[in-house]
Chains A and B, each alone.
Chain A
Amino acid sequence: MQHGSQEEIQKQVRIYIAVFVALAALTVITVAISYLKLPLIPAVSVALFIATLKGSLVALFFMHLISEKQIIFSVLALTFVFFLFLLILPVLS
């Protein structure tokens, strides 16, 4: 799969390093916050928010989703909707 010339890949590499630093920082932050022992709902919200941020960085940059084609997004969007059904509906029932 061609992603471009040598310069473009070098630029990508710089981005990968930047993402790595961000991920490391977010990991430290999420662990630090857990030591605050916040009540459950804020704790879950913050932890989920940070995890989603980290996950998005991995997906967008390491998995190249940021430059990916529409067909992949369609499959993923569909999956995400069903994933939400699976996560939310049973506990509500």
Chain B
Amino acid sequence: MSHGEHSRELPFWRKYIFSLDHKVIGAQYAVTGLLFLLFGFCLMMLMRWQLAYPGQPLPWLGGLFNEQSMVGGIMLPEFYNQLGAMHGTIMVFLGVVPLAVGGFGNFVVPLQIGAPDMAFPKLNMMSYWVYFIGGVVMFASFFVPAGAAQSGWTSYAPLSDIASFGQTMWLFGMVFLITSSLLGSVNFIVTIVQLRAQGLTFFRLPFFVWAQFVTAFLLLLAFPPLEAAAVLQLMDRLAGTSFFLPTGLVVSGKLLEVSGGGNPLLWQHLFWFLAHPEVYVLILPAMGIVAEIIACNTRKPLYGYKSMVYSVIFIGFMSFVVWAHHMFLTGMGTKMSAFFQVTTMIISIPSIIILTALLLSLWGGSIRFNTPMLFATAFLPMFGIGGLTGLPLGLAAADIHLHDTYYVIGHFHYVVAPGTLFALFAGVYHWFPKVTGRKMSEVLGKIHFWLSFPLINGIFMPMFIMGLAGVSRRLYDPTQYAHAQPTQPLNVVISICAWLLGLAQIPFIINFFGSLFFGKKVGQNPWQATTLEWSAPSPPPHGNFETVPVVYRAPYEYSVPGEKEDFIPQTERK
């Protein structure tokens, strides 16, 4: 990291550990997020053994687990449930969002708007460390008696109310993570509103910034109800209240000695009020990343930029009124089911507009198929499949058959795994030169892509078939059900693809760390891109820009007729 106009050197711990610089904080978020993604992936690879070969002892690794998790290498159901609940929690809250928003958002947004840093650097630093503490609490929960949370990432009451201590740790962990998100979202909103460079009007913002802006509002306004819900569940578990415990609840043959009068559905409403906007938090930054990379590598402006902006704003708003489509089977009555079904159908429209605009942006482009572009282009059909398979789930009648089956798992993983995760990989390859001043290896990158792409489809496509056959999710042993036995061979296919996909990440890990030292050195603008971050040195110093940028142009002036170069940076005078 080069130094700007410092008159005194900061000590190591203030320069790199408790740094106030958005670039360092962004890197901290990104690396921590990537490590948690890897950890969450490992949890899933363990689950896949039990699903492919139920009741079989785990070879080689079985001995590493104590009696609480595996007996003779055979996974216990309780441990399977812990793996399931924590895989979801870690991937969503400790992996994807910190990487997409905390990592990419923090690093790129101030640069793309021509600002020297985020509006509140100290708050930014605090957000990261509060996230870190939340992560430690979640990780530590595996090692307490009876293990980690095991009531699903959704922690439905009343099961979660009476679950073991790991659930309490999950709740405290969530409080830290939610606080971190709230502090971060305030920072993003104020930064984007107040610190844009001169000439950078809202409709000259790169789509990535718009996506992060809407995402910040989702985090700001949707997370607090889950914080409230966590407080209520902690009260139930620690203070003996019955917010979510109905009267007359019998556990293990005994009547539960609580006041009763609570409502398990209250938890579901409060949880999904956040968790639905949360899935848009997972996808919007990814769409932003893909938009940037497609514009740059087609050497063409984005098709329908204005429509995309209005669509992303509309998605943000609508995402607050669709949540009960996760609750169609709770006995809501046809009027409310119809209401949420209609809003859910409506929200698919702006998503389709954005996807179509991105697809049309490819038409007539002079396409450079480098690694970021491969991942970004793959995102399009993958998100398409994820989105389309969401439609039957959003229709209350079809959802009766599909709810809580593997179809749901297939749907949401398509959006988030070959969807968001591919976009995040694309972002890493695309912005690595800006962060480090070096390019990643194209050879290793292409190997990473061409292995990951078929394997990830091999994992999630069969799940639709299993779901349609009625196989439920969160099953420790699918073969105990007659209707699940015909699709059991698919479980073996999925598991093998999952383990191979794990191996396929090795080229990426080697590439990431190797390129830090041996990657080809590059200058300011190795991709010949137009947006402001490419007007700063690679890597940018403190304060980011040598001279304060002034913006004269729209964000994607590629291949402008009559111009010598096939791109014009936003800072170039007209």
Contact = CB atoms under 8 A, between A and B. Distances in A.
Interface of A: 71, 78-79, 82, 85-86, 89-90, 92-93
Contact of A85 (B193, B321, B327, B333): B321
A82 B225 CA distance: 11
A90 B266 contact: yes
B506 interface: no
A78 B324 contact: no
Interface in B296-349: 317, 320-321, 324, 327, 330, 332-333, 336
A92 to B, nearest CB: 6
Contacts of B330: 93
B144 interface: no
A93 B221 contact: no
A42 to B, nearest CB: 26
Given A82-B320, A85-B320, A85-B321, A92 B336 contact: yes
Interface string B459-470: 000000000000
Contacts of B221: 78-79, 82
A33 to B, nearest CB: 28
Contact of B327 (A71, A86, A92, A93): A93
Q: Which 6 A-B pairs have the closest CB atoms?
A: A90-B269, A93-B332, A93-B336, A82-B320, A82-B221, A93-B324
Given A78-B317, A85-B321, A93-B332, 6 more contacts: A71-B193, A82-B222, A82-B320, A89-B321, A90-B265, A93-B327
B273 interface: yes
Given A78-B217, A79-B221, A86-B225, A93 B269 contact: yes
Interface of B: 193, 217, 221-222, 225, 265-266, 269-270, 273, 317, 320-321, 324, 327, 330, 332-333, 336
A89 B327 CA distance: 13
A34 B502 CA distance: 65
A89 B320 CA distance: 11
Contacts of A92: 336
A78 B313 CA distance: 12
A84 to B, nearest CB: 10
A81 to B, nearest CB: 8
Contacts of B336: 89, 92-93
Contacts of B217: 78
B333 A86 contact: no
Contacts of A71: 193
A71 B194 CA distance: 11
21 contacts: A71-B193, A78-B221, A82-B221, A82-B222, A82-B320, A85-B321, A86-B225, A86-B273, A89-B321, A89-B336, A90-B265, A90-B266, A90-B269, A90-B270, A92-B336, A93-B265, A93-B269, A93-B324, A93-B327, A93-B333, A93-B336
B356 to A, nearest CB: 27
A71 B221 CA distance: 16
Contacts of B193: 71
A86 B336 CA distance: 14
Contacts of B317: 78
Contacts of B327: 93
Contacts of A85: 320-321
A89 B325 CA distance: 12
A79 B332 CA distance: 26
Contacts of B266: 90
Contacts of A93: 265, 269, 324, 327, 330, 332-333, 336
Nearest to B321: A85
Nearest to A83: B221
A89 B193 CA distance: 31
A51 B110 CA distance: 42
A79 B320 CA distance: 11
Contacts of B225: 86
A86 B333 CA distance: 18
Nearest to B228: A86
A58 to B, nearest CB: 21
A79 B553 CA distance: 33
B270 to A, nearest CB: 8
A74 to B, nearest CB: 10
Contacts of B265: 90, 93
Contacts of A90: 265-266, 269-270
Of the listed residues B221, B327, B332, the one surrounded by the most CB atoms of chain A closer than 10 A to its CB is B221
A79 B317 CA distance: 10
A71 B324 CA distance: 31
A71 B193 CA distance: 9
Contacts of A79: 221
A82 B323 CA distance: 12
Nearest to B335: A92
A86 B221 CA distance: 11
A90 B326 CA distance: 13
B339 to A, nearest CB: 8
Of the listed residues A71, A79, A85, A86, the one surrounded by the most CB atoms of chain B closer than 10 A to its CB is A86
Nearest to A71: B193
Contacts of B321: 85, 89
A85 B273 CA distance: 10
A68 B269 CA distance: 34
Contacts of B324: 89, 93
